Structure 1
Amino acid sequence: MDVVSDAMAAVRVGRPSSNRFRAAGSWSTRLSAYEGAGFHVVLEGGCRLLLDEGEPLTLRTGDAVLLPHGTGHVLMDADGDPAAAGAAVPFERLTDGSAHRPARTGPGQVELLCGKYRTDRSRTHPLMAELPAVVHLPNRVGGHPELRAAIDLLGGELLEQRPGGQLAVPSLLDLLLVYMVRAWLAEGSTGVWSAVLGDPVAAAALRALHADPAAGWTNDRLAAAVGVSRPTLARRFTALVGRPPMAYLTWWRLTFAATLLRDTTDPLAAVAHRVGYRTPYAFSHAFARHFGTTPGRYRAREGTAAPATG
């Protein structure tokens, strides 16, 4: 796994959800803050997006937005008055067939692809934490063709019920998230992690640690793998990532262990071995110090797998 894939896999839980939303005329709808990440893609027409805090954002056909921290927001027609956002109808009422549903066809018609990803913020990688409240990816001819292809495929799957759709849709939603984060990184983000992944020393060290977190890493061994001196590795890595290499490794081992406890039925000893701890006791002690609970209790609370002792 590469760093970006690991960062997204660690924070994701459960299955994502999505639907197509159509409206016309004058309308506004509120999506409350939630534990997860959301997205909207404008398939037709245009609209406005208003964060609970921030300036209105105008969206046009082909635009995509990612709200990686589940920030509450309002969607409204392109000519809507932001001052009237307080009267917005909850999104759930517009999609469950209840009253106050806007017209689906007519002047100002808009069609959106909307979705949510569930996340566990206790395991948020700093790369994901650094994403802004809203990532706006305007439609550009030839820009991010893989993102456009994923949007087209997902929109088609949601428009028609086809054989295999229950497997295809969640997979395409996962792919869409990857492409939106990748596009944000490629757009020249000024964030710390764009610099980290662009630095040959820090990026190489992270790739090595993520490729084999259970290895018996030391600063000397990691520096040799990267091809630099130990002082150079320590200086560059710490300055960019914000913590020394071995401190980052400890954090990632425990974060990865939490993912394994959540998603697998591996015995505690196997999880400990996969993340670089020689004994279940040493692993349990480190895990409890970091998460405030034992691995077994964490699995029983968070996982879909069978509980483990410890």
Structure 2
Amino acid sequence: MDVLSDAIAAMRTGLPHSSRTLMSAPWGLRFAASNGAGFHVILQGSCWLLPPGQEPVALSPGDVVFLPHGRGHAIADDPTTPLTDVVQTPDGNWVLAEDPPPGAGPTTLMLCGAYRLNRARAHPLLTGLPDVVHLPARIGAHPALRAAVDLLGRELDQPGPGSDAVVPALLDTLLIYILRAWLDDHAGQAATGWAAALADPAVADALHAIHHRPAHPWTVEELGARAGLSRAAFARRFATVVGQPPLAYLTWWRMIIASQLLGTSDAPLRVVAQNGGYSSEFAFAKAFKRQFGISPGSYRRQHDNTKHPVTPRRAPSVIHHR
């Protein structure tokens, strides 16, 4: 397992949704705050992203914007255009609250999508992202991301046999490439944070070891030795870059794994504890309550409805305004 994949898997719930959206000016869409994360990719034309409390962001063909925190935003042909609300349905899809008047001006073609997330299992790799991740189109930059965009756009425009399986897989791939692109762009720009952590060989190796074998009785000495560092030097380096000591992160990650098992399986508490590196159910329950504020049994009862979720079919393109 790798840290980026684990961070996404820890938070994801349900299937992502997407649409290929054609708008004719004047147009403006306002997305309410939600528990998910959204993205927009500009295929043709131009528009403006209107994040709350921030200056408008001009978007051009090839630009990708990712909004990881679900704080709500708007997107429009012009910052002054009146906005039509887009609301989220129970299955995670987004639909127009009312039909706006048809426009006759320049058109903008976009890919829009949303991922459903469980904020209770938020990984700091994602929570540490800015409110708006803007990846401007640059010749030769992030070719894998561009390829994923092209494949998704083609599948939404011309769905074929297997599209219900292909589109969610492409959306998952797109999310990985968006995050990779941002991490790559910022790896050398900061001394702390997750872009720096994954670019630091010693810290990244320790993180991968923790994620690969979370039940192993790791010590700071053992993790440091993997990078050829003393206990004290490694502990300082890890805490400075990641923001918490190595064993504190290990304990937190074990609790996240446990919460996933409790919420999505009927595994006995003994098995959940062992997967989290605890030989004692009592010690595990105490650590779990310290992290989440409730006992493992209470957590399981609260999340019982997620064990056998109904898998929704892929939502069609829901916004098409000419």
TM-score (norm 1): 0.90
Provide the residue aligned with 1:295 in structure 2. 296
Q: Using a 3 Å threshold, how does the CA distance of structure 1 residues 99 and 245 change in structure 2: closer, same or farther? A: closer
Q: Is the 8 A contact 2:16 2:171 kept in 1?
A: yes
Q: Using a 3 Å threshold, how does the CA distance of structure 1 residues 141 and 264 change in structure 2: closer, same or farther? A: farther
Amino acid across the alignment from 2:37: A
Provide the residue aligned with 1:181 in structure 2. 179
Amino acid across the alignment from 1:305: K
Aligned-residue offset at 1:261: 2.3
Q: Deviations over 1:108-159 (max 9, x none)?
A: 1111111111112222111111100011111122211111111111112212
Q: Find the residue that maps to 2:161 and give its secondary structure.
A: coil
Q: Is the 8 A contact 2:40 2:111 kept in 1?
A: yes
The whole-number CA distance in structure 1 between the counterparts of 2:302 and 2:155 is: 34
Provide the residue aligned with 1:119 in structure 2. 117
Q: Find the residue that maps to 2:218 and give its secondary structure.
A: coil
Which one of 152, 163, 168 corresponds to residue 166 of structure 2? 168
Amino acid across the alignment from 1:88: L
Q: Find the residue that maps to 2:29 and give its secondary structure.
A: strand
Q: Is the 8 A contact 2:121 2:256 kept in 1?
A: yes
Q: Deviations over 1:202-223 (max 9, x none)?
A: 1121111111010011122222
Q: Find the residue that maps to 1:228 and give its secondary structure.
A: coil
The whole-number CA distance in structure 2 between the counterparts of 1:205 and 1:96 is: 46
Provide the residue aligned with 2:314 in structure 1. none
Q: Deviations over 1:160-194 (max 9, x none)?
A: 33211111111111111110010001112545211
Q: Using a 3 Å threshold, how does the CA distance of structure 1 residues 101 and 284 change in structure 2: closer, same or farther? A: farther
Q: Using a 3 Å threshold, how does the CA distance of structure 1 residues 274 and 184 change in structure 2: closer, same or farther? A: same
Provide the residue aligned with 1:91 in structure 2. 86
Q: Is the 8 A contact 1:299 1:305 kept in 2?
A: no
Q: Is the 8 A contact 1:51 1:73 kept in 2?
A: yes
The whole-number CA distance in structure 2 between the counterparts of 1:74 and 1:169 is: 24
Structure 1 runs (4+) greater than 4 angstroms displaced = 92-98
Q: Is the 8 A contact 2:86 2:97 kept in 1?
A: no
The whole-number CA distance in structure 2 between the counterparts of 1:209 and 1:149 is: 32
Higher helix content, 1 or 2: 1
Matched, 1:154 2:120: no
Provide the residue aligned with 2:71 in structure 1. 71
Provide the residue aligned with 2:283 in structure 1. 282
Q: Using a 3 Å threshold, how does the CA distance of structure 1 residues 101 and 155 change in structure 2: closer, same or farther? A: farther
The whole-number CA distance in structure 2 between the counterparts of 1:112 and 1:228 is: 49
Amino acid across the alignment from 2:263: R
Q: Find the residue that maps to 2:286 and give its secondary structure.
A: helix
Q: Find the residue that maps to 1:40 and give its secondary structure.
A: strand
Q: Is the 8 A contact 2:68 2:131 kept in 1?
A: yes
Farther off after superposition, 109-118 or 278-287: 278-287
Q: Is the 8 A contact 1:30 1:89 kept in 2?
A: yes
Provide the residue aligned with 2:205 in structure 1. 204
Q: Find the residue that maps to 1:48 and give its secondary structure.
A: strand
Q: Is the 8 A contact 1:16 1:117 kept in 2?
A: yes
**Alignment gaps of 5+ in structure 1:** none
Q: Is the 8 A contact 2:29 2:86 kept in 1?
A: yes
Aligned 1:1-310 pairs, distance under 5 A: 1-77=1-77, 80=78, 82=79, 84=80, 87-92=82-87, 95-96=95-96, 98-103=98-103, 106-188=104-186, 190-191=189-190, 192-302=193-303, 304-305=306-307
Aligned-residue offset at 1:288: 1.5
Amino acid across the alignment from 1:126: P
Aligned-residue offset at 1:280: 2.4
The whole-number CA distance in structure 2 between the counterparts of 1:288 and 1:50 is: 40
The whole-number CA distance in structure 2 between the counterparts of 1:175 and 1:108 is: 31
The whole-number CA distance in structure 1 between the counterparts of 2:96 and 2:30 is: 14
Amino acid across the alignment from 2:227: V
Aligned-residue offset at 1:295: 2.0
The whole-number CA distance in structure 1 between the counterparts of 2:229 and 2:259 is: 32
Provide the residue aligned with 2:91 in structure 1. none
Q: Is the 8 A contact 1:22 1:111 kept in 2?
A: yes
State the structure with bigger RCO (CA 8 A, min sep 6), 1 or 2: 2
Aligned-residue offset at 1:297: 2.6
Aligned-residue offset at 1:275: 1.5
Aligned-residue offset at 1:287: 0.8
Q: Find the residue that maps to 2:21 and give its secondary structure.
A: strand
The whole-number CA distance in structure 1 between the counterparts of 2:37 and 2:271 is: 31
